[in-house]
Structure formats: structure tokens, C-alpha cells
A and B are shown apart, each in its own frame.
Chain A
Amino acid sequence: MYKVMLIDDEASARELMKESLDWESLDMYVAGEAESGIEAINTIDDIKPDIIFVDISMPFMDGIQFSVIAADRYPGLIIIIMTAFDKFEYARKCVSLPIFEYMLKPMVRSEVMETLKKAKERLEERGPVQWGASETGDEQLSATEAVMKYIQENYTDSTLNLTSVAQAFGFSSSYLSRKFKSETGKGFAQYLTQVRMENAMKLAGPDVKMFNISAKVGIPDPNYFGRCFKKYTGKSYSEYAQGCPDK
């Protein structure tokens, strides 16, 4: 089955897509969602989608910026941009991007189904996205520590993820993922979030606003940052910050 990822800051829009379409008839399912481009960067390596729907109007990183990064890192990924007409011309200007289709909002089921059928044909023709299928195999990776060091130095870059680091080191992402987990006991994304959260905790204080910190540790989307923070520390940022000494 092909995996679909929905990226839209409107939860109801994602839900509508997910619920109103007959995905199974197309041999597809919605494997993951993201509320922002930032979140998608951080989770896409785990979700490994074949098709993504991305809304153009999103804060912190809009659909075009995200598509630029995604098209570069994941060749073969089918990107479908959703836009209302006021951003349509803006989207059209990015003709150099390998965007599979621009769809006008509000989405109409029959049109979405039509586009997905075409996308499926494309996937069948060219094969699914190579999520790290090309193994670098034998090459000894004694560089896990170097990767960890690289993360510690670059965690403020909000576009950093498994694939970008793998590409920086010349590995396939699946190889890096496996190697990293076997040598550190943690997933790559988990480790990246850990580094970011540890730094955020150091910066936190009763008078320090969350959105200031979130931008400093490489998650400029404060909503997504908030969720990561709570998951990592067990407390919401404001609860945690109250307990910190003044900075």
C-alpha cells in the first residue's frame, strides 16, 4: 500500500481528507499528518510517505519552502500542493519545483481522486520513493559519534533531519538510521529532539517566552515545540518554566 502524508495547519482539513476519501480503493492509506512544515521535516523520515499533500499557507515554513526541501531530499516523492486562489500565482511561479499537481481549495473529492489515480500510475511506473534502499553496506561507520557531534552543532537548523544528515555524511538514510539506533540505543529523530529539548530546558525560565526558545533550538513552530516539550519532560512548557530559577 502507498503511504500518504497530509501537511496542513487546519486539523479539520486533514480530517476531512482522511475521512471523506476512499483510500483503500486506491490501495493507499494516510500514514501520517503534520501541522506544519517544521513538524513534517522532523517526522517525514519515520513516516516514509510516497505521496504528500501540503497546504501552501502555513506559518513558520510555508508549503513552498517545505516542498523545496522535500523535493531536494526525497527524489521521487509525489508532492501535491493545496492552495486557495490567492496563493495560486505564487505557487505557479515555483515551476522549477517538481510539484506533481497544484489543487485549488476547497478540495473536491472527485478531483482529489482523479489526481491520486494519476499519482498512483506514476508510482507504478517509476517505483516508490527509495527510502534509503541504496545500501552503503560494508563501509564501516565509526562515525556515529561524528554524527552526534554534528547534531549537537547543528540542532538550531530547523531543516535538519535524518535524510539531510545522512546526505551530509554520504550515507543512505536507512543505513544511518539502523546504525545510529544499534550504536546509541536511540532513534535518530529521538536523539535530535533530545538535544533540542535539553537545550530548551537550559534556556527556560519564568520570564522566557516559549516561542523565543522554540526558535532558538531549531523548532520555530511553537505548537509543535510545545508538544515535543511535553512529551520529553512530562510537563507543559509553562509548568516547567515556573519551576525554573529566574534567568
Chain B
Amino acid sequence: MIMEEPLAAFLKEEDRDEAFNLVIDAKYSMQRIINVTNGVDAVYAFRTDGLYACTKRGVFVLDEQNYVEDLWPTPVLDLRGRALEYANGNGALRKIDNYPFISIERAFYDMNTQKRTGYLILFMSGKIIDQALGALPDTDICAVGLDGTYLSGDRNLTRVYDRSFASYKVSHKMYIVRGQRVMISGVRVKDAPIIVISCIPLEGKPLPGRTLRILAFLMAAMAFGLFALGRFVSVNITRPINRLIKAMNIGGSEKELVPISGRMPDNEIGLLRDSYNSMVIRIRDLIQELITKEQTIQRAEMRVLQEQIKPHFLYNSIGMISSLALRNGAGDVSSALETLGRFYRNFLSKGDKEIPLEREVLIVRDYLALQKLRYGEIIRDEYDIKDECLKCIVPKLILQPLVENSIYHGIRLKGEEGIIRVSASIDDDNLLHIIVYDTGVGMSKETADKLMSGIKNVSPDEESFGLWGTIVRLRYYFNRDNVVKIESEEGEYTRIEFIVPATTVPKAEEEK
């Protein structure tokens, strides 16, 4: 019962107003207990601040003063969660028809913090004791509470109640009733706040102890039944629900939603799991559908992009114009177109993102060859690529933006012939050094420092965007921060050095 979530939530809630909102849920929770448990007439749940929720069958009158103002009797608190049973509510509660009942009280502790958060009282109808007594052949039997209040059986016998009966040992007393000698025997029921009293006329019938013991046994059985009921609720409802919640939490925290597979009882909780699972599957289907849709759109957009560059058309056109030029005796046009064609072929590189340095250098050569056609003798290009570097894999287009910068932000601004030198070598630490050197106007120290430092989120100006983007790509590709060294003297030169691990295995293959 203490595992009932809404009830626990009601008791646990720290804010009194919030708790007030939870009363209804808690009541439903308690109603369920009444419905499934034979003999339970009322349930009261008190919060430490005095707010309480109750559900009952019949009319009970509660002495709120007793319960709320001094809070509950200390013995219960000392029991730390174990139940304390009273007959007839220990005076604090009474049923309007004055029918006897037994109350089971216990303090409620939060499962996680072990802080006391409330107090529960369960009222059992005295009728279940009637049923137990009715099963016995003797009629001169009575059940009373520890304080002698009447519970069930022969009411007259309460008058002969004696404190000494409140012992687990059977005690006897002699009385004269209507001139007859009778023996009154009493014993306390094990683990229950009930005393059974029997009256046996001494003439002829000397067997009260046995009957009493049977009765005590029956009562004990009943107390055990109550315990078993709690167990039953715990094993069959509370624990499976907790398992279910745990499984749902795990399922929800995975990268993708997964149906839960834990063993569940074959009842409503099993059904709950099944409907949760079908919901999960449905959600997954919907997500998959969305992803597929998104992918289709992306593919279509890619296709449009590809259509825009359509290399096949470009190449065929270059070939066609080249042949036209040749036919008209313009061999230099044909050569230039051939260079352009090869530049684009390498530039696009079948869409590869990483290429051998060899091909990267070829792109630069063709690019500079075409630029030299445009700007004449202002550019002189030199190459010093060591053989062992040729097959090293680098991200595509790391050099072309650099030489482009060399032309537009270096040499052309200077107005005199400039040199662009591209060199590459591998050092003893197996690091590849790629250097682009130009005798352009150079850059300020601030610009160089800004580019070299970790300017990850700095939005660069138009001028250095090519270099900035390349540095970011290299950092990302090789997963290291120190990939670039920039030296420059304003008016003299710029020297940009990339230092990256030398590898001949493309990342794309490595991942496979």
C-alpha cells in the first residue's frame, strides 16, 4: 500500500498547496485499496503538516485534535515503519454506527530519503472477527481490544475483562454468574491488538484452553492474511509497476526509443507494457518516416546542385570549344581549355573530400597556369615537393585558397613580379610540412596571430576567409590544434606552413 504512487506523492509533496491538489489522486489510490481488500473500511493518510486524505465505507468520526494537534502517538513513531494496531481507534476515531473495528496505524517514510512524511491508518471492520468467531462452535466467546473495548462476540463478556488477559499466556479467572461457577479465560492474539475471552461453565465442560488456542490461532492466521495481502499488492502490482517505470526510463534514455522486454505479469501491467511497446514502435516508424522524407529531400537538393555543375556537360563543352579552336588554328586556346578541363577534373575530384598531395599540387599548377594567362608575367611559380610527400593524403583544396590569397592579397597589390613557391617535406617525426611562400605585400602581425590562434568562432573578414576556412578544415580533419604557422613581414613576404601528420591512408577508408 505504501507503494501506491499517488498516495506517496501526496505524502511526499513539500508544498502544502500542491499537496492539496494531490488529495483527489491519493483518494482514488486509497479507494483501490478498499476495493481489493476484504474487511478494510477506511483509510486515512496524514501529512506531517496535518493535511490528510481519507476514503471510507460508512461514516467515521475522527478526533482530529488527537491526531493532528499532538500529531500521532509516539509509540507509532518509535516503531519506524512497523505497524501498530489498536482496537476501536484508540479512542480517537469512532464509527457512527458504533460497530467495532480495528485500526492499523503506521508512520510513512519516503522510500528514498527515509524521511518520515506522513502517517497512515487503516480501519478493519470488526465483521471479519465476527466471521472468525462464527467459525467456532462455542458461543460464549468475545473479542476485545487491548483496552477492553468490545470488538465482536458476546458483549457481556467485556464486563469481565481483566488487564491480566493482555498476555500471550492464557490466564483464567473464576466467577459466579447467575449462581453458576464459570471460568473466564483470556489470551492475547499474537501480533494483534485483540484479546479473546471465553466463558465456560465449570460443570461438565472443562476444555476452554483448547478452544481459546484455536481461536488465537485463527486470529493469528488473520493477521498473517493481512500481511500476505500487503505482500500480494507489493509483489503483483507495486514491483511490476516499478520495473515497468525503470524499463521505460532506460528505454527513453537510449539513443533511440526501444521497446521494453522485461518480464511482466500477465495482467493489466503486461497490457500496459504491450501498449507502451506498440506506442514506441509507432513513434519509431514515424521518426523513420520523417528521416526518409528528409533524406529524399536532401538527395533531391543534392541532385539539383549536381545538375548545376554537371561536369559531364562542362567537360564536353570544353572539348567542343577546344576542337573549334583547333580547327581555327588557335592552338593556344585549345591548350588553355585543356588546362581548364584538367583543373576542373581535379578540382571536383569525383566528389572525394581527401586526395593525394600530388593531385592537390596539380590543381595549384593548373590554377596558376590559368592565372598566369590572365595576369601575364607578374606571377612566377616554383615547386619543391619531395617525392615521399606525393602520396600523402590531405583534405581537398587546402593549397588552392592559399595561392589564390597569394595572388589577390599579396602579389597583385604589390605591382611588381612576385614568386609563389609551394614546397612540401616530411620531418623525422613523420609530420608533413606544406609551405606556401609568396613575395607579396605580407600581412600584419595581428592578422597573422589572429589566424594562428584558436579563432574558432571569430567570423573572419572577406580577405582571410579562404585561409581561415582551410585552417579550420585541417584542424577538424586531423583533430589537432597546431596545424599552422604563419610568418610574414609587411611589404616583404608571407610564409604559411601547414604541419599535419603524414598519412597515405584516406580517413574514409580508415573508417571502413
Interface bits B315-339 vs A (CB < 8 Å: 1, else 0):
1101110111011000000100010
Q: Which residues of the partner chain B approach A85 to less than 8 Å between Cβ atoms?
A: 311, 345, 348-351
Report how far A180 CA is from B341 CA in the complex, Å: 48
Q: Which residues of the partner chain A approach B341 to less than 8 Å between Cβ atoms?
A: 105-108
Contact B311 A10 (CB under 8 A): no
What does DSSP make chain B's interface, helix, strand, loop or mixed? helix
* Distance in Å: Cβ of B274 to nearest Cβ of chain A: 47
Name the residue on B nearest A19 (C-beta).
Answer: B326
Q: 8 Å CB contacts to B: which residues of A94-108?
A: 104-108
Name the residue on B nearest A104 (C-beta).
Answer: B345
Query: Is the C-beta of A230 less than 8 angstroms from some C-beta in chain B?
Result: no
Number of residues on chain B facing chain A (CB within 8 A): 22
Interface bits A13-28 vs B (CB < 8 Å: 1, else 0):
1011001100000000
* Distance in Å: Cβ of B329 to nearest Cβ of chain A: 11
Q: Which residues of the partner chain B approach A20 to less than 8 Å between Cβ atoms?
A: 322-323, 326, 334
Q: Which residues of the partner chain B approach A16 to less than 8 Å between Cβ atoms?
A: 319, 322-323, 326, 334
Contact A108 B327 (CB under 8 A): no
Report how far A247 CA is from B323 CA in the complex, Å: 45
Summed over the interface, the residue pairs from A and B with CB atoms below 8 Å come to a total of 61
* Distance in Å: Cβ of A108 to nearest Cβ of chain B: 5
Query: Is the C-beta of A109 less than 8 angstroms from some C-beta in chain B?
Result: yes
Indicate which residue in B318, B323, B345, B348 contacts A19 across the interface (CB closer than 8 Å).
B323
Q: 8 Å CB contacts to A: which residues of B261-286?
A: none
Indicate which residue in A19, A57, A108 contacts B312 across the interface (CB closer than 8 Å).
A57
Number of residues on chain A facing chain B (CB within 8 A): 18
Query: Is the C-beta of A88 less than 8 angstroms from some C-beta in chain B?
Result: yes
Q: Knowing A16-B323, A16-B326, A85-B351 are in contact, say whether A105-B338 is a contact too (CB < 8 A).
A: no
* Distance in Å: Cβ of A175 to nearest Cβ of chain B: 40
Query: Is the C-beta of A12 less than 8 angstroms from some C-beta in chain B?
Result: yes
Query: Is the C-beta of B213 less than 8 angstroms from some C-beta in chain A?
Result: no
Query: Is the C-beta of A114 less than 8 angstroms from some C-beta in chain B?
Result: no
Query: Is the C-beta of B342 less than 8 angstroms from some C-beta in chain A?
Result: yes
| B binding-site residues for A, Cβ under 8 Å | 311-312, 315-316, 318-320, 322-324, 326-327, 334, 338, 341-342, 344-345, 348-351
- Top 3 nearest A-B pairs by Cβ distance? A106-B341, A16-B323, A12-B320
**Cβ contacts A to B, 22 pairs, < 8 Å:** A10-B319, A12-B322, A13-B316, A13-B319, A15-B327, A16-B319, A19-B323, A19-B327, A20-B322, A20-B323, A20-B326, A20-B334, A57-B312, A85-B351, A105-B312, A105-B315, A106-B315, A106-B342, A106-B345, A107-B341, A108-B341, A108-B342
